[in-house]
């Protein structure tokens, strides 16, 4: 056998990475204070010709006359005003293009580094969070820290120790390939076909911590029809590319071509001889995976949960896919005994039948080449730089980025998936402001109540369906911040019971041990009830995201998103309602989008819609689908959005922004009008809309935009502003946009 493992050179670190932590802190502090001084001065000059109408209320607050009754001059307001002014392009008419108006200045000042796919406000907040967490991980451990924190730091330090990683190069991967039966394209005539069985290989993947859901997915998940339990499930397998559409384009697509070339380069790097032969064998692999892609159903056809719910026993599975030894497969994947009468939920039986047919018709050498490539490709991030660079061509074609992120950033991000709970505990203890919880919860109450009241006013629903909708909306539970159990070391320790990571093992080996552990963890849930109040479902507090869960009928806002541009208790509430309020309304509305509406108040997949109202919903949703399908990115007019795949998020955006605005009006009615911001001659309502746009400021590479549109369920950032606002009469009224102007079209789409 001729597997190869060699060393590679390393580049010097950038100027910034060579600075000390103190230098970085001082540089950042100087920048912040300088910016604050400049914008306070601007604000003073702008308002200097206005009469004083009040006196200094406190040492931190001064009141000026403005477009609003008062101007807030607290540090929180000055900071917010500074960011808004920097972000805006006030030469743009807000009724022509509100996204450019709110984000034009932001985009002009941002530069996408080679190692980035783009820059977003979400990303900026995540990077800031990563820096905070880096300081905690790299800092000295606190006295009596739990054992899982030691394991977390071990993984980070091993990831950072590139010198050690370079010493073993691809050796552990080669050992695994040999253990799996070898990679035919590398071994050539030495590979023994008679010893190969694709099912045995998949089982070995499962036992070594590699992805076993490549040809067919077999896993444990909640029962959509009875959301109190877990059930075994079968679905189409995963592909090496992010979406079937890439493979169906063939090698004429630059991403598929780069993917194919990566296959060839990997095989040669591991010792394959005769490039002509290697290219032909990998071409066979591409054609095989294309057949697999053709057998799957597209995302557009996976939005109806009822169609994805097909109960079958092993005997039933054997009838539709006789080439697969189902008894052997499930016995090897699951940890519990699976009887012949066990009922599986099979998502799309026809796909399983087609995969079975493809496997029966494909030469074992091609299947083996495909499986070994998928396994090796997934392992490259754990290897030395030479091996990681093998994916650069593919990464550039797929996302536009060229090069790796700073090593500390890569290592930090890896921890979130495997040690998210301990990371969350560190963050909450050291950085989270508990006072934010009360203010955020108040916002949820206002917006939630507004949504319930809006349902009562809906004129296209019959009475029965409306009453069920209101009952479901009132039943939505809310979780904000973090589960208190993450601060209980004993509780968290239970999550890691049985996990063994060795300091003497390589980074590669410990990564595989973690993957195996968490796969087992999920599989073990089979005989456990689905507990909707389980604290572990809200344990990832260090997350820049928010969630609606149909099975729980719940909305969740982790501590990580309650900061920065999304939320600040020290600034006026119109900015918070425009930012995190938009997100709150969005998550609430998810319960009533095209997918969320398929679940009742108890989290079960059940049709609670009367037929006539159901048809009216579909008609309104189709308006959203058609509207967004006609949006195209500015960088490429031929690149249009997928209105079907994004309809759920678009419905949630439109409804969520509306509820946030109306919720804020209720807040003002109770609390009174808020002051304006220095240097900004806009009303609180106008600043609400500016804030709601600012959170989506982004600058993305064209390749990244294409990837998002091909694979994502969210519209690109620009259309999360333009879409909901062109449909909003409240927006047009606030900005006095003439009917027929770009931001106030005559035809509008609305669902909620």
- Contact call for residues 546 and 558 (beta carbons, < 8 A): yes
DSSP reduced 3-state for 637: strand
Average pLDDT value for residue range 583-610: 97
Backbone angles phi, psi at 603, to 5 degrees: 85, 20
**Is the confidence at residue 35, as pLDDT, over 80?**
no
DSSP 8-state symbol, 307: T
Burial class for 518, CB neighbours closer than 10 Å (0-12, 13-18, 19+): middle
Q: Is the pLDDT of residue 29 over 70?
A: no
Q: Is residue 214 part of a domain?
A: yes
Bridging pattern class, strands 216-222 and 118-120: unpaired
Nearest to 485 by CA among 417, 550, 428, 523: 428
Q: Is residue 640 part of a domain?
A: no
- DSSP code per residue over 141-209: PPTT--HHHHHHHHHHHHHH-HHHHHHHTTHHHHHHHHHTT--HHHHGGG--GGG--HHHHHHHHHHHT
Both structure tokens of 655: 């409804």
Phi, psi of 307 (to 5 degrees): -70, -20
| pLDDT tens per residue, range 607-656 | 999 999 999 999 999 999 999 999 999 888 889 999 999 999 999 999 99
Q: Which residues are catalytic?
A: 587, 653
- Laid out side by side, the sheet with 477-481 consists of 477-481, 554-558, 547-549
Q: Which residues contact 42 (CB under 8 A, 6 or more apart)?
A: 85, 678, 679
Which domain covers residue 308, as residue numbers? 171-382
219: three-class secondary structure by DSSP: strand
Does residue 295 lie within any of the structural domains?
yes
Confidence (pLDDT) at 47: 39
Q: What is the mean pLDDT of residues 495-504?
A: 95
Beta strand pairing status for 344-346 and 230-236?
Answer: parallel
CATH code of the domain covering residue 264: 1.10.1380.10
The yes-or-no verdict on residue 7 having pLDDT over 80 is: no
Does 721 reside within a domain?
no
Cα separations in angstroms, 689 against 109, 118, 685, 696, 697:
22, 24, 7, 12, 13
pLDDT digits over 38-72, tens only? Answer: 444 444 333 333 322 232 232 223 223 345 568 99
- Mean pLDDT of all residues in 555-579: 96
Dump pLDDT digits (tens) for 214-260.
Answer: 999 999 999 999 999 999 999 999 999 999 999 999 999 999 999 99
Query: How many structural domains are present in the chain?
Result: 1
| Residue 189 within any structural domain of the chain | yes
pLDDT tens digits along 419-454: 999 999 999 999 999 888 999 999 999 999 999 999
Strands 554-558 and 477-481, bridge-based pairing: parallel
Mean pLDDT along residues 322-338: 95
- Whether residue 255 lies inside any domain: the answer is yes
Domain assignment present for 252: yes
Taking Cα atoms as reference points, which of 217, 247, 221 lies closest to residue 235? 217
Q: Is 269 a member of any domain?
A: yes
User: Could you identify the residue written with the tokens 């090796």?
Assistant: 376
Segment holding 259, helix H or strand E: helix 254-269
Run of H or E including 222: strand 216-222
User: pLDDT tens digits, residue range 668-701?
Assistant: 999 999 999 999 999 999 999 999 999 999 999 9
Average pLDDT, the chain: 91
Please give the pLDDT value at position 70. 85
Least confident interval from 43-47, 185-189, 347-351, 573-577: 43-47
Closest CA to 108 of 97, 119, 98: 119
pLDDT at 19 over 50: no
**Residue 16 confidence (pLDDT) above 80:** no
């Amino acid at each position: 056998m001729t597997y190869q493992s060699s060393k590679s050179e390393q580049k010097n670190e950038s100027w910034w990475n060579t600075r000390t932590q103190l230098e970085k802190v001082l540089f950042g502090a100087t920048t912040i204070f300088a910016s604050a001084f400049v914008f306070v001065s601007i604000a003073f000059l702008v308002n200097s010709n206005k009469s004083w109408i009040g006196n200094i209320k406190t040492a931190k607050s001064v009141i000026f006359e403005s477009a609003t009754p008062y101007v807030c001059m607290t540090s929180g307001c000055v900071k917010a005003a500074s960011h808004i002014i920097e972000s805006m392009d006030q030469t743009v008419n807000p009724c022509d293009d509100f996204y450019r108006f709110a984000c034009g200045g932001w985009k002009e000042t941002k530069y996408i580094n080679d190692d980035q796919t783009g820059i977003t406000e979400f990303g900026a907040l995540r990077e800031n969070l990563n820096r905070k967490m880096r300081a905690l991980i790299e800092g000295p451990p606190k006295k009596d820290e739990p054992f899982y924190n030691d394991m977390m730091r071990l993984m980070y330090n091993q990831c950072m120790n590139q010198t050690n990683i370079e010493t073993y190069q691809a050796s552990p991967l080669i050992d695994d390939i040999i253990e799996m039966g070898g990679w035919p394209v590398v071994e050539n005539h030495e590979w023994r076909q008679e010893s190969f069985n694709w099912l045995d290989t998949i089982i070995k993947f499962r036992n070594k911590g590699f992805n076993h859901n490549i040809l067919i997915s077999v896993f444990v998940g909640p029962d959509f029809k009875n959301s109190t339990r877990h059930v075994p499930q079968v679905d189409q397998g995963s592909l090496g590319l992010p979406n079937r559409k890439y493979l169906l384009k063939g090698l004429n697509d630059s991403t598929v071509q780069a993917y194919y070339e990566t296959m060839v380069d990997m095989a040669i790097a591991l010792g394959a001889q005769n490039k002509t032969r290697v290219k032909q064998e990998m071409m066979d692999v591409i054609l095989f995976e294309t057949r697999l892609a053709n057998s799957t159903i597209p995302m557009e056809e996976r939005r109806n949960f009822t169609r994805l719910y097909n109960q079958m026993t092993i005997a039933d599975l054997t009838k539709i896919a006789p080439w697969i030894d189902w008894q052997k497969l499930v016995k090897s994947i699951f940890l519990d005994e699976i009887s012949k009468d066990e009922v599986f939920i099979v998502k799309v039986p026809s796909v399983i039948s087609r995969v079975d047919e493809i496997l029966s018709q494909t030469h074992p050498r091609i299947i083996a080449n495909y499986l070994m490539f998928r396994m090796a490709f997934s392992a490259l991030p754990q290897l030395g730089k030479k091996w990681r660079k093998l994916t650069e061509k593919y990464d550039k074609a797929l996302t536009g980025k060229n090069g790796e992120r700073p090593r500390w950033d890569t290592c930090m991000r890896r921890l979130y998936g495997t040690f998210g709970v301990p990371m969350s505990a560190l963050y909450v203890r050291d950085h989270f402001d508990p006072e934010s919880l009360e203010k955020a919860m108040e916002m949820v109450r206002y917006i939630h109540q507004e949504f319930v009241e809006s349902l009562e006013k809906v004129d296209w629903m019959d009475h029965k369906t409306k009453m069920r909708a209101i009952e479901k909306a009132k039943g939505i539970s809310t979780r904000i911040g973090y589960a208190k159990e993450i601060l209980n070391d004993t509780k968290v320790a239970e999550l890691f019971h049985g996990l063994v990571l060795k300091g003497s093992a390589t980074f590669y080996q410990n990564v595989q041990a973690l993957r195996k552990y968490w796969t087992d963890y999920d599989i073990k849930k089979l005989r456990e009830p689905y507990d909707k109040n389980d604290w572990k479902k809200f344990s990832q507090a260090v997350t820049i995201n928010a969630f609606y869960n149909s099975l729980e009928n719940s909305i969740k806002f982790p501590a990580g998103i309650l900061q920065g541009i999304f939320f600040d208790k020290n600034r006026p509430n119109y900015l918070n309602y425009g930012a995190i309020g938009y997100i709150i309304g969005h998550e609430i509305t998810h319960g009533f989008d095209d997918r969320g509406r398929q679940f009742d108040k108890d989290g079960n997949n059940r049709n609670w819609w009367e037929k006539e109202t159901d048809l009216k919903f579909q008609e309104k949703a189709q308006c959203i689908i058609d509207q967004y399908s006609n949006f195209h990115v500015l960088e490429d007019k031929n690149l249009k959005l997928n209105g079907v795949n994004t309809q759920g998020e678009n419905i949630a955006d439109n409804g969520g922004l509306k509820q946030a605005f109306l919720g804020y009006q209720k807040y003002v009615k109770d609390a009174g009008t808020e002051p304006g911001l220095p240097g900004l001659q806009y009303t609180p309502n106008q600043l609400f809309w500016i804030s709601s746009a600012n959170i989506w400021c982004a600058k993305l590479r064209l390749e990244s935009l294409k990837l998002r549109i091909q694979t994502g369920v969210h519209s690109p950032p620009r259309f999360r502003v333009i879409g909901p606002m062109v449909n909003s009469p409240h927006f047009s009224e606030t900005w006095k946009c003439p009917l027929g102007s770009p931001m106030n079209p005559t035809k509008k789409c609305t669902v909620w």
